[in-house]
Structure 1
Amino acid sequence: MIDLSNALPKPNILPMIMKESNRPLKSDTRYLLKIKEELEILLAREKELSRLKGRMVSIASHEFRTPLSSIQLSASTIEHYFDRLDRTRIFQHLKKIIMAVQQMTAILDDLLSLEKIESGKVSLRMKCFDLTSVSRDVLEEMQAMTKKGQQLFHRHHGLDTEVYLDQDLLRRCLTNLISNAIKYSPEGGIVELVTCITEQFMEVQVKDQGIGIPEKEQSRLFETFFRADNAKDIQGTGLGLNIVKRYVELMNGSVSFSSRENEGTVFMLRFPRLSGDLDQPIK
């Protein structure tokens, strides 16, 4: 068979290619720019996550040393001097061990919570539950962390006690705020948990008589890893309040505070129940 392909005239295909490629060029350019922007955002997010994880490891290794040392010392004392310690002294050392374990658990909870939030892995599980029952449970759990003479109180306003929120996230918020109130308050101080439910809103307040927050640093209070100057000698990760704020906002609520240095702090969580005026704070 004779091949006639070389005998046929060859069309100039370059103008055809240019004409065809020019049609979607603008839309393709916009598409590529959009992809480029998205990739840059993803890359920046990955860098931020990497930075956060590095900071988390550093914090964990630093913050675990004190409670681990306390556990080791108390356990060693009980082991070597058990026959010479009275019941009261043994229970004192056991309480130190429990407190140290709670400190490490709180640190781990903060680190894991932040990682879940940053990775978008937090899912809401909204349901109805009794707010006063949860409040009492949290205070009972926190009792082991109290300093000498510290007292924890709960007051509730309103006839209704049922709310519709994510119970686990609310418990984490309350645990964090009450733990801070205990930690930053002196021996013999009072920490008060106040809850209020009306037709329009549900509000929680945690009040303490602690060291307070310096006014010049209050604007940075909810930043990740932030520690106020007057709190840097007290153990903490600087993550708790940032996590509380983000959990509260996930549940469509808001968080605010009022504080004066050396005069205590009040943190307020507010969640809407129905449409209406939400400007009535707890008295």
Structure 2
Amino acid sequence: MAKEKILVVEDERIVAKDIVKSLQRLGYKVGASVASGEEALQKVAEIQPDLVLMDIMLKGKLDGIETTEKIHENFDIPVVYLTAYADEKTLERAKITEPFGYIIKPFDERDLHTTIEIALRRHLAEAATRVALEKEKQLSELKSRFWFMVAHEFRNPLTAILSSAELLESYSHELSELKRREYFYLIQTSVHSLNNLLNEVLEFGKAEEGKLECKPESLDLVCFCRDLVEHIKFSSGSKHRIIFTNQGDCPDACLDEKLLRHIFSNLLVNAIKYSPEGSNIHFELLCENEKAVFQIKDNGIGIPPDDLELLFDSFHRATNVSNIPGHGLGLTIVKKCLDLQSGEIAVNSKVGVGTNFTVTLPLNICVIQDKNVRS
């Protein structure tokens, strides 16, 4: 196991050589030994040491304390001060830089070893604490955004259902048959919207908790795609035309049908949602080299370049969606469903022209799972 790399900053040549020899005897790797603050800053940037042993009283424009301040501004690297003597004012300046230890010269190797190990362990512990706090902060923000989204997305369809029901109850005898049908249709579509949202919220919750499971079974991909297209056409009620085509030999695959439905239902519904009414949606399947390659192409609003990197982040929606309904969970679920099946997804999009999603999956995930179990 490689030992930690240490940078020595000491302007007295003989002392510096002794420190380097001691460090090497203790099993540490000495990245460099330099004599000035300016050289130290250059070496820190160059070799990225795990720890810096810094003499406080350096010759040149920068003393050890000023050099440490500049290291802290740009790097997360612990510094241990070396000092033979320092007045009270200098020590107070040194404390402000929050060093990871002091070594008083002259020192023996045991003191040097103990101080370095404590500094390294403390730095690791602080780094772990920072990561944990950042994750906790992100989780808190995610929960806040989640509940805000749920409340907002539920309010609109519930309001539509309540308003329509009240109108039908109070004025049913005054309304024309067409108007009554409109209100019933609004209630039905609102209920469908709530049901879809609940399903996505439940799946998102499972994904975040690591409870989504991959249970691959034998599957006819061509039949699956055709059935899915018919289902999307019926449930969406859109006037878009979904054109499915397939190429290559698509033998019985071994994939998780439920996860596939999450993936391609989301992608096809998005293609419909963000495309002009009456336009064509192309859904293509190509089987070759033991892989299934799916493409969903639309002629919709497209995705701005700045949004592409964040496309699969929870609750992120492209900046050009305007008032098109959505909650930014669908593509997050798509990515998690693909990861469970060793799949990949790529997107090519141009604003005002359209979007092309390419999904690549192994035809036989059962074989991959079997290999993983045996290894």
Matches within 5 A, 1:29-44: 44=134
Give the C-alpha shift of residue 47 in structure 1.
Answer: 4.2
Amino acid at match of 2:275: S
Correspondence for 1:236: 326
Are the aligned partners of 2:303 and 2:355 in contact in 1 as well (CA < 8 Å)? Answer: yes
Give the C-alpha shift of residue 62 in structure 1.
Answer: 0.7
Structure 2 residue runs of 5 or longer lacking an equivalent are: 1-113, 365-375
Correspondence for 1:85: 176
Amino acid at match of 2:151: S
Supply the distance in 2 between the matched residues of 1:209 and 1:80 (Cα, whole angstroms). Answer: 44
Amino acid at match of 2:291: F
Correspondence for 1:211: 301
Equivalent in 284, 292, 295 of residue 202 of structure 1 = 292
Alignment TM-score, normalising by the size of structure 1: 0.74
Give the C-alpha shift of residue 43 in structure 1.
Answer: 5.6
Supply the distance in 1 between the matched residues of 2:203 and 2:122 (Cα, whole angstroms). Answer: 35
Could you give the per-residue CA deviations for residues 124-151 of structure 1, whole angstroms, max 9, x where no partner exists? Answer: 111111223332333233223244x322
Matches within 5 A, 1:29-68: 44-68=134-158
The alpha-carbon distance between structure 1 residues 69 and 153, as it changes in their structure 2 partners (threshold 3 A), is farther
Equivalent in 229, 253, 271 of residue 139 of structure 1 = 229
Give the C-alpha shift of residue 163 in structure 1.
Answer: 1.7
Correspondence for 2:360: 270
Could you give the per-residue CA deviations for residues 129-185 of structure 1, whole angstroms, max 9, x where no partner exists? Answer: 1223332333233223244x3222322223425321111111011111111111111
Equivalent in 198, 209, 227 of residue 108 of structure 1 = 198
Correspondence for 1:221: 311
Runs of 4+ in 1 over 6 A off after TM superposition: 29-40
Could you give the per-residue CA deviations for residues 44-90 of structure 1, whole angstroms, max 9, x where no partner exists? Answer: 5444333322211100111122222333344445445555433x655
Are the aligned partners of 2:255 and 2:363 in contact in 1 as well (CA < 8 Å)? Answer: no
The alpha-carbon distance between structure 1 residues 123 and 43, as it changes in their structure 2 partners (threshold 3 A), is farther
Matched, 1:165 2:255: yes
Give the C-alpha shift of residue 269 in structure 1.
Answer: 0.8
Larger Rg: 1 or 2? 2
Alignment TM-score, normalising by the size of structure 2: 0.57
Supply the distance in 2 between the matched residues of 1:120 and 1:47 (Cα, whole angstroms). Answer: 20
Matched, 1:127 2:127: no
Supply the distance in 2 between the matched residues of 1:77 and 1:204 (Cα, whole angstroms). Answer: 46
Supply the distance in 1 between the matched residues of 2:136 and 2:202 (Cα, whole angstroms). Answer: 17
Are the aligned partners of 1:99 and 1:145 in contact in 2 as well (CA < 8 Å)? Answer: no
Supply the distance in 1 between the matched residues of 2:140 and 2:349 (Cα, whole angstroms). Answer: 34
The alpha-carbon distance between structure 1 residues 43 and 218, as it changes in their structure 2 partners (threshold 3 A), is closer
Amino acid at match of 1:269: V
Give the 3-state SS of the residue equivalent to 2:320 in structure 1.
Answer: helix
The alpha-carbon distance between structure 1 residues 118 and 33, as it changes in their structure 2 partners (threshold 3 A), is farther
Could you give the per-residue CA deviations for residues 237-275 of structure 1, whole angstroms, max 9, x where no partner exists? Answer: 11211221121122101001111111111111101237x
Supply the distance in 2 between the matched residues of 1:94 and 1:155 (Cα, whole angstroms). Answer: 36
Correspondence for 2:244: 154
Structure 1 residue runs of 5 or longer lacking an equivalent are: 1-24, 275-283
Matches within 5 A, 1:17-36: none
Count of aligned pairs between the two proteins: 248
Give the 3-state SS of the residue equivalent to 1:180 in structure 2.
Answer: helix
Give the 3-state SS of the residue equivalent to 2:242 in structure 1.
Answer: strand
Supply the distance in 1 between the matched residues of 2:237 and 2:267 (Cα, whole angstroms). Answer: 13
Supply the distance in 1 between the matched residues of 2:221 and 2:179 (Cα, whole angstroms). Answer: 37
Are the aligned partners of 1:212 and 1:265 in contact in 2 as well (CA < 8 Å)? Answer: yes
The alpha-carbon distance between structure 1 residues 43 and 193, as it changes in their structure 2 partners (threshold 3 A), is same
Give the C-alpha shift of residue 94 in structure 1.
Answer: 3.9
The alpha-carbon distance between structure 1 residues 67 and 219, as it changes in their structure 2 partners (threshold 3 A), is same
Supply the distance in 1 between the matched residues of 2:318 and 2:340 (Cα, whole angstroms). Answer: 26
Equivalent in 232, 240, 246 of residue 336 of structure 2 = 246
